[in-house]
């Protein structure tokens, strides 16, 4: 189905099932521990051996020699895979570094060997006997030191234009009566999903089946086949449940490749899980940024000039963190520029983490807006409202498909009690606590991706949906069931959803908050086709047929749905494919974050006390699971603001705090009750579902709202994340 | 590869360190040899010809199970890999995340931080022992109602912890945030958050998890 004109009324608008806050259909499996994750497919393969991954002990250089003799003699050892024994390997087009290093080492903890043994304990113990000698080479590991050498990165679909310029930024900025020129930094961050990357590989002749933990089934199938240099049709990737991804499982990783190589070498199925301490350096991470923001405005608070520049680093042939892109779209201003520069760093591969670009970009931009509002003596909410724009500021002829940004700001301010905020910082005290309010805009683009699905109707009137879409905790199973139920006139209980298998039609997958809208639109397209076939078989005119309460109705005829399949299952498959509505219109999601923070006046301990997000993201397909996406993102935003930080050893070139004890993420005690409000909105330009993404919107801006609340509480402005005690303790007001 | 320099190394230490290189004396070499551990001429520890195995009997979800295990097997791996009870999750294997929380004689522990052989005669309850998809435990049902999970990987640990937390509060066990440690702890959000803080949820379902636990606590009271 081609979607190239805005949606009109369609069966989804009935909202009998879609839009309802139903419980997740996979909830009973997840809460009883019976949902099978990658390492848990005991019934799928017999005689499974265990692989243990060895990561490189240097950041850059070469392996001089690997001595596997002792390990090979260790009890239970079946095979040892290294680059020297694996045979020639290709590289997936979505990987920057190779997944099996050697002899060249590109980053610390790059996988260099897999030890396969009868048991987990034997594989782990034998791995300790592998002796590796390295020839280390010097590398670049410090972004601030390498910033001067940064160059203009290659433009790609993911980066957008590397440099943008409209009007005369320099002149307008110089003339602006009120201006701001500040630099912010964000650190390297780790996804730290709860389920480490894991895979089980089974070879049957030249055909490989991989049970794994993947956000993007087709990308993995493609890149695994390319890396092994075998036909894609010989690879099946299965990932029904994923224990979190956040971008860390977008791309094929070492566990998958090594399980396949280990299984080939051992002649048995092999399963591999990355042990937790390997995850941050072996896999990808969100790269650190240095961001310079300049804003010029009239005394009345109209932005006349705005510039956002960002520096980040990555391995050779890697890409930049696109932290400037929201600044091209969020606020008005006739004179504007953005630029991204990329330094070569020999740290582990930088790549997407939840809301890549906008998450760190908004952390900087929305502090800058707070600082500018203060300079102008304008309320931060009003300053943002004053600089709203209904068109793409770079192309005024190009409107937003919908942009209820001001409504989000006003509703949020009202609900949160923003009027009680003292614009003068450090004036509200409750006992020993300094208390402040902060806010920030939320903004994230809505991305359109082709997405296909297959639907089956059986003789009992039940519908089965098959698509390679993944559910990484987002609620895909449930909203897909809701979509099919709405389209076919069934209760959710009559719909079976099967996801995460490369045998199913290729979906959008899970990432970039594009999953929900595109994957359900693909199911919508397949259901339209199924409805047409059902109507044809029952002798209805498909335009007149209504699918209601398990029946197909037209005029005074009503036939049970299953009757159409009495002589055999009916199967329909289609994809949603988009025209240029995302070029004609800018499609984005909007929101506002409000935070109350308290800082202990003596110890400096910071606590987040209240949080509110108001979101405008088109139709909300399931308010219960969508709300969870937003509170989860808000939680990750608190982590980004206050604690998350991969500490770089700039001599040895690795992330030091590479486990869940050293890399701190929010725990229960850090997170208050969170409130989320969705504007009642549909966006007919986004898809037939009239929905947009929301899973990343909830993260964009949270960090800055926390930072601004801490500033309002204490009067101390911190521009380097995370805002840990040491960044502000010596500047706190004197304790009375 | 570990290097150990303590000459008074015990057999237990050697085994705990896994295969290791050590500067062993002849005497310790003989002692180790008796245990099936051999050192080569250079003093490099050769792995034993076979792993040490032992038998343990424990009750899991009401069923007596007898397992013959490599002595290094954690309770977590015994459950997941030997009994195929994969509801108990491995998130970190280092006691940092709480995904492997199970109840041992009613008390919650991290199953990754304890060896299976230490549980002779113990009564283990895993998430599978609390309820089934067709017959959910009240805490499981509350997690579903309140959407107290997203990816689901930390969820069994959260639920086992939550069940144990309510028992701990009932038993009057104070926490770090209990204001009067001599009195009965309150079932406040603050108490629940403190007591649940050993269970990380990276998806960030905390606000909903506390709502779910509060509902169960309320209906019990």
- The answer to whether residue A143 is domain-embedded is no
Which of A27, A29, A33, A255 has the highest number of chain B CBs within 10 A, making it the mutation to test binding with B? A33
Q: How would you label A661-690 residue by residue, b for 16+ Cβ within 10 Å and e otherwise?
A: eebbbbbbbbbbebbbbbbebbbbbbbbbb
**pLDDT beyond 60 at B32:** no
Does A454 lie in the same domain as A441?
A: no
Q: A401 and A252 in one domain?
A: no
How many CB atoms within 10 Å of residue A300?
A: 10
The Cα of A564 is separated from the nearest Cα of chain B by a number of Å equal to 31
Same domain, A617 and A712: yes
Per-residue pLDDT, A413: 98
Give the pLDDT confidence of A325-344 residue by residue, as tens digits: 999 999 999 999 999 999 99
> Which of A33, A659, A661 lies closest to B128 in CB terms?
A33
Same domain, A87 and A121: yes
Q: H/E element holding B53?
A: strand B53-60
Q: Pull the structure tokens for residue A608.
A: 């987040």
Residues paired with residue A454 on neighbouring β-strands, in sequence order = A466, A573
In the structure encoding, which two tokens stand for residue B180, read together?
């009067």
Among A578, A597, A624, the domain-final residue is A578
User: Do A477 and A538 belong together in one domain?
Assistant: yes
- Whether residue B9 is predicted with pLDDT greater than 50 in this model: the reply is no
For residue B48, pLDDT over 60 is answered with: no
**Cα(A695)–Cα(A627) distance, rounded to whole angstroms?**
9
What's the pLDDT at B51? Answer: 86
Determine the 3-state secondary structure of A578 from DSSP.
strand
**Most A CBs within 10 Å: which of B203, B205, B211, B213, as the mutation test of the A interface?**
B203
Does residue A673 share a domain with residue A619?
Answer: yes
H or E segment and range at residue A495: strand A495-498
A49 and A23 share one domain: no
Nearest CA in chain B to A672: B207
Give the angle A461-A465-A470 at the CA atoms, nearest 5°.
Answer: 155
Contact A134, A57 (CB under 8 A): yes
Chain A CB within 8 Å of residue B163 CB: no
Q: Taking residues B59-65, report their average pLDDT.
A: 98
Q: Say what the pLDDT of residue B40 is.
A: 55
> Which is catalytic among the residues A374, A486, A644, A696?
A696
Q: Whole-model pTM? A: 0.95
Name the CATH superfamily housing domain B138-220.
[2Fe-2S]-binding domain (1.10.150.120)
Q: Which domain-ending residue is among A256, A282, A308?
A: A282
Q: Counting Cβ atoms within 10 Å, is residue A274 exposed (0-12), middle (13-18) or buried (19+)?
A: buried
Q: How far is A137 from chain B (nearest CA, A)?
A: 22
CB contact under 8 A, A276 and B92: yes
Tell me the average pLDDT across B126-144. 98
Note the pLDDT tens digit of each residue in A9-35. Answer: 999 999 999 999 999 999 999 999 999
B48 CB near a chain A CB, below 8 Å?
Answer: yes
Q: Is the pLDDT of residue A715 over 90?
A: yes
What pLDDT was estimated at residue B20?
Answer: 37
Mean pLDDT of the A355-364 span = 98
Q: What are phi and psi of B41, to 5 degrees?
A: -60, -30
Angle, helices B155-170 vs B138-145, to 10°: value is 120
Instruction: Please indicate, yes or no, whether residues A613 and A535 belong to a single structural domain of this protein.
Output: no
Under an 8 A CB cutoff, do B209 and A193 touch? no
Residues of chain A positioned with their CB less than 8 A from the CB of B49 = 75
Tokens of B80: 């997941």
CA A522 to chain centre: 20
Mutate to test the interface with A, among B46, B48, B83, B151 (most CBs of A within 10 A): B151
B53 shares contact with chain A (CB less than 8 Å): no
Residue A11: inside a domain = yes
User: Judging by DSSP bridges, how do beta strands B101-104 and B123-125 pair with one another?
Assistant: antiparallel
The secondary structure element, H or E, covering residue A572 is strand A570-578
Does one domain contain both A440 and A480? no
Q: Is A169 exposed, middle or buried (0-12, 13-18, 19+ CB in 10 A)?
A: buried
A605-627: average pLDDT: 98
Would you place residue B41 in the very low, low, confident or very high pLDDT band (cuts 50, 70, 90)?
low
Look over chain B and give the mean of its residue pLDDT values, rounded to a whole number: 85
What pLDDT score was predicted for residue B3? 31
Total Cβ atoms within 10 A of residue A132: 20
pLDDT of residue B42: 55
> Can you give the pLDDT at residue B219?
74
Judge residue A13's burial from the number of C-beta atoms within 10 Å of its C-beta, 0-12 exposed, 13-18 middle, 19 or more buried.
Answer: middle
Residue A362 lies in a domain: no
How buried is residue A26: exposed, middle or buried, by Cβ count under 10 Å (0-12/13-18/19+)?
buried
Shared-domain flag, residues A662 and A710: yes
pLDDT digits (tens, 9 = 90+) for A531-563: 999 999 999 998 899 999 999 999 999 999 999
Contact A232, A221 (CB under 8 A): yes
Task: Summarize pLDDT for A653-693 with one digit per residue, the tens.
Answer: 999 999 999 999 999 999 999 999 999 999 999 999 999 99
- Establish if A201 belongs to a structural domain: yes
pLDDT in tens, A368-393: 999 999 999 999 999 999 999 999 99
Kindly report the number of other CB atoms within 10 A of residue A488's CB atom: 26
pLDDT in the model for residue B162: 98
Residue written as token pair 């308290």: A598
Determine, yes or no, domain membership for A152. Answer: no
Does B138 touch chain A if contact means CB atoms closer than 8 Å? Answer: no
Detail the DSSP E strand segments found in A601-669.
606-616, 648-649, 654-655
| Residue A104 tokens, joined | 């060249």
Q: Give the tens place of pLDDT for each residue, A103-158.
A: 999 999 999 999 999 999 999 999 999 999 999 999 999 999 999 999 999 999 88
Chain A hits for B196, CB-CB cut-off 8 Å, are 667-668
Residue/partner pairs of A661-665 with CB below 8 Å, 24 or more apart? A661/B94, A661/B96, A663/A190, A663/A192, A663/A280, A664/A639, A665/A192, A665/A636, A665/A639, A665/B200, A665/B202
Q: Are A92 and A122 in contact (CB under 8 A)?
A: no
Within-domain flag for A265: yes
Q: Is A34 exposed, middle or buried (0-12, 13-18, 19+ CB in 10 A)?
A: middle
What class is the B53-130 domain? alpha beta
Q: Please report the pLDDT score of residue A514 as a whole number.
A: 97
Q: Quickly list H helices, A460-578.
A: 476-488, 515-538
Chain A contact for B101 (CB, 8 A cutoff): no
- The contacts found for A15-19 with CB under 8 angstroms, 24 or more apart, are A15/A486, A16/A486, A17/A482, A17/A485, A17/A486, A17/A491, A17/A492, A18/A479, A18/A482, A18/A483, A18/A486, A18/A619, A18/A621, A18/A622, A18/A689, A19/A619, A19/A620, A19/A621, A19/A622, A19/A623
Q: Token pair for residue B163? A: 């069940």
Q: Report the pLDDT value the prediction gives residue B50, as an integer from 0 to 100.
A: 81
* B91 touching A (Cβ < 8 Å): yes
d(CA B166, CA B156) in angstroms, rounded, equals: 16
Q: Across the interface, which of A36, A277, A660 has its CB nearest the CB of B200?
A: A660
Contacts of residue A625 in chain B, CB cutoff 8 Å?
147
**Residue of chain B minimizing CA distance to A634:** B204
Q: Which residues of A touch B89 (CB under 8 A)?
A: 33, 37, 194-195, 243
Distance CA B207, CA B213 (A): 10
Query: Is residue A187 in some structural domain?
Result: no
pLDDT at B49: 66
Compare CB distances from B153 to A243, A636, A671 and report the shortest one's residue: A243
pLDDT surpassing 60 at residue A207: yes
pLDDT at B45: 55
Is residue A577 annotated as part of the catalytic site, yes or no? Answer: no
Vertex B189, ends B186 and B195: CA angle to 5°?
A: 80
Interface membership of B89 toward A (CB under 8 Å): yes
- Domain spans of chain B, in order of start: 3-46, 53-130, 138-220
The C-alpha atoms of residue B155 and residue A194 are separated, in whole angstroms, by 10
Overall number of domains in chain A? 3
My answer on whether A410 and A527 are in the same domain is no
Q: Which structural domain, as residue segments, surrounds residue A718? A: 393-446+587-728
For A68-106, the pLDDT digits (tens) are 999 999 999 999 999 999 999 999 999 999 999 999 999
CATH number where A511 lies: 3.30.365.10
User: Nearest Cα to B106, choosing from B46, B167, B49?
Assistant: B167
Mean pLDDT, to the nearest integer, of B32-47? Answer: 52
Mean pLDDT of the region A615-624 = 98
Are B18 and A128 inside 8 Å of each other by CB? Answer: yes
Cβ contact B81–A120 (<8 Å): yes
pLDDT at B221: 53
Contact B46 A243 (CB under 8 A): no
Evaluate whether residue A150 is within a structural domain.
no
Taken in order A128, A130, A135, A140, is the CA torsion positive or negative? negative
Where among A252, A282, A312 does a domain terminate? A282
Residues from chain B that touch A124, judged by Cβ atoms under 8 A, are 18
The residue with tokens 């301010």 is: A413
* Whether residue A65 sits in one domain with residue A196: yes
Look at residue B43 and tell me whether its pLDDT is greater than 70: no
Which residues in B lie closer than 8 A to residue A54 (C-beta atoms)? none
Kindly report the average pLDDT of chain A as a whole number: 97
Window from A92-96, A181-185, A686-690, B2-6 with minimum mean pLDDT = B2-6
Distance CA(B123)–CA(B131), nearest Å, equals 16
Which band of pLDDT confidence, cut at 50, 70 and 90, is reported for residue A404? Answer: very high
ipTM surpasses 0.95: yes
Q: Give the pLDDT of residue B4.
A: 29
pLDDT reading at B24 higher than 60:
no
């Amino acid at each position: 189905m081609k979607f190239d004109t805005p949606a009109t009324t369609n069966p989804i608008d009935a909202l009998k099932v879609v839009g309802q806050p139903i419980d997740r259909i996979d909830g009973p499996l997840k809460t009883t521990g019976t949902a099978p994750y990658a390492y848990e497919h005991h019934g799928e393969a017999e005689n499974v051996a265990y692989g243990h991954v060895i990561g490189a002990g240097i950041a850059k250089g070469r392996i001089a020699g690997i001595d596997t003799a002792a390990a090979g003699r260790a009890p239970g050892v079946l095979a040892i895979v290294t680059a020297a024994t694996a045979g020639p390997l290709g590289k997936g087009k979505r990987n920057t570094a190779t997944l099996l290093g050697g002899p060249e080492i590109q980053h610390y903890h790059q996988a260099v060997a897999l030890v396969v043994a009868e048991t987990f304990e034997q594989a782990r113990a034998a791995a300790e006997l592998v002796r590796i000698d390295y020839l280390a080479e010097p590398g670049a590991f410090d972004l601030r030191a390498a910033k001067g050498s940064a160059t203009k990165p290659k433009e790609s679909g993911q980066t957008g234009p590397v440099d943008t310029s409209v009007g005369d930024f320099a002149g307008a900025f110089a003339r602006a009566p009120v201006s701001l020129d500040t630099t912010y930094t964000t650190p390297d961050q780790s996804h730290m999903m709860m389920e480490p990357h894991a895979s089980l590989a089974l070879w049957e002749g030249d055909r490989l089946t991989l049970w794994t933990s993947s956000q993007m089934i087709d990308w993995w199938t493609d890149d695994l086949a390319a890396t092994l240099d075998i036909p894609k049709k010989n690879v099946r990737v299965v990932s029904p449940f994923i224990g979190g991804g956040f971008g860390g499982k977008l791309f094929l990783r070492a566990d998958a490749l090594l399980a396949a190589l280990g299984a080939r070498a051992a002649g048995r199925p092999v399963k591999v899980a990355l042990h937790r301490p390997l995850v941050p350096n072996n896999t990808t991470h969100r790269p650190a940024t240095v961001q310079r923001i300049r804003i010029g405005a009239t005394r009345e608070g109209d932005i006349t000039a705005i510039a956002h520049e960002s520096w980040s680093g990555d391995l050779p042939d890697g890409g930049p963190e696109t932290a400037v892109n929201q600044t091209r779209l969020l606020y008005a201003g006739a004179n504007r520029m953005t630029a991204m520069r990329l330094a070569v760093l020999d740290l582990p591969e930088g790549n997407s983490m939840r809301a890549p670009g906008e998450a760190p970009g908004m952390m900087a931009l929305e502090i800058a807006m707070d600082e500018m509002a203060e300079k102008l003596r304008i309320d931060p909410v009003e300053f943002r409202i004053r600089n709203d724009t209904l068109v793409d500021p770079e192309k005024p002829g190009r409107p937003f498909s919908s942009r209820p940004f001001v409504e989000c700001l006003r509703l949020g301010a009202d609900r949160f009690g923003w009027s009680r905020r003292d614009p003068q910082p450090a004036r509200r005290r409750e006992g020993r606590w300094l208390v402040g309010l902060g806010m920030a805009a939320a903004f994230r683009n809505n991305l359109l991706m082709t997405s296909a699905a297959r639907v089956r109707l059986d003789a009992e009137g039940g519908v089965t949906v098959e698509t390679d879409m993944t559910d990484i905790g987002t609620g895909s199973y449930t909203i897909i069931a809701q979509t099919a139920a709405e389209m076919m006139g069934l209760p959710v209980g009559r719909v079976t959803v099967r996801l995460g298998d490369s045998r199913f039609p290729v979906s959008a997958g899970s990432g970039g908050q594009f999953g929900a809208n595109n994957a359900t639109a693909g199911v919508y397209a397949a259901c339209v086709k199924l409805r047409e076939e059902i109507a044809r078989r029952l002798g209805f005119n498909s335009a007149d047929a209504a699918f209601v309460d398990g029946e197909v109705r037209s005029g005074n005829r009503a036939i049970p749905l299953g009757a159409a399949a009495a002589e055999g299952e009916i199967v329909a498959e289609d994809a949603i494919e988009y025209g240029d509505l995302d070029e004609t219109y800018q499609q984005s999601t909007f929101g506002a974050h409000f935070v109350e923070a308290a800082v202990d006046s003596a110890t400096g301990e910071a606590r987040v006390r209240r949080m509110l997000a108001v979101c405008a993201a088109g139709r909300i397909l399931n308010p219960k699971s969508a709300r969870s996406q937003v509170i989860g993102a808000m939680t990750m935003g608190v982590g980004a603001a206050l604690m998350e930080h991969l500490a770089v050893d700039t001599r040895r070139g690795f992330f030091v705090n590479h486990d869940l004890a050293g890399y701190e993420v929010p725990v229960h005690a850090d997170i208050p009750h969170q409130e989320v409000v969705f504007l009642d909105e549909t966006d007919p330009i986004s898809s037939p579902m009239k929905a947009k993404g929301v899973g990343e919107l909830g993260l964009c801006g949270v960090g800055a709202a926390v930072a601004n609340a801490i500033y309002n509480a204490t009067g101390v402005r911190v521009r380097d994340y995370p805002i840990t005690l040491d960044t502000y303790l010596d500047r706190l007001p004197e304790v009375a | 590869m570990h290097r150990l320099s303590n000459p008074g190394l015990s057999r237990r230490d050697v085994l705990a360190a896994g295969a290791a290189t050590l500067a062993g004396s002849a005497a310790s070499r003989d002692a180790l040899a008796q245990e099936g551990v051999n050192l080569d001429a250079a003093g490099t520890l050769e792995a034993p010809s076979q792993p040490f195995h032992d038998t343990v009997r424990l009750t899991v979800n009401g069923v007596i199970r007898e397992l013959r295990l490599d002595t290094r097997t954690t309770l977590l791996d015994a459950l997941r890999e030997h009994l195929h009870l994969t509801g108990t999750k491995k998130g970190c294997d280092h006691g940092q995340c709480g995904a492997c929380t199970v109840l041992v004689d009613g008390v919650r522990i991290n199953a990754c931080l304890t060896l299976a052989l230490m549980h002779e005669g113990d009564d283990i309850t895993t998430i599978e022992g609390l309820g089934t998809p067709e017959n959910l435990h009240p805490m499981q049902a509350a997690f579903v109602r309140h959407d107290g999970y997203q990816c689901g990987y930390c969820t069994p640990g959260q639920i086992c912890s939550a069940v144990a937390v309510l028992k701990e509060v009932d038993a009057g066990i104070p926490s770090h945030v209990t204001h009067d440690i001599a009195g009965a702890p309150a079932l406040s959000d603050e108490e629940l958050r403190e007591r649940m803080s050993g269970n990380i949820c990276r998806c960030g379902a905390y606000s909903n998890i506390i709502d779910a636990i509060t509902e169960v606590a309320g209906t019990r009271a």
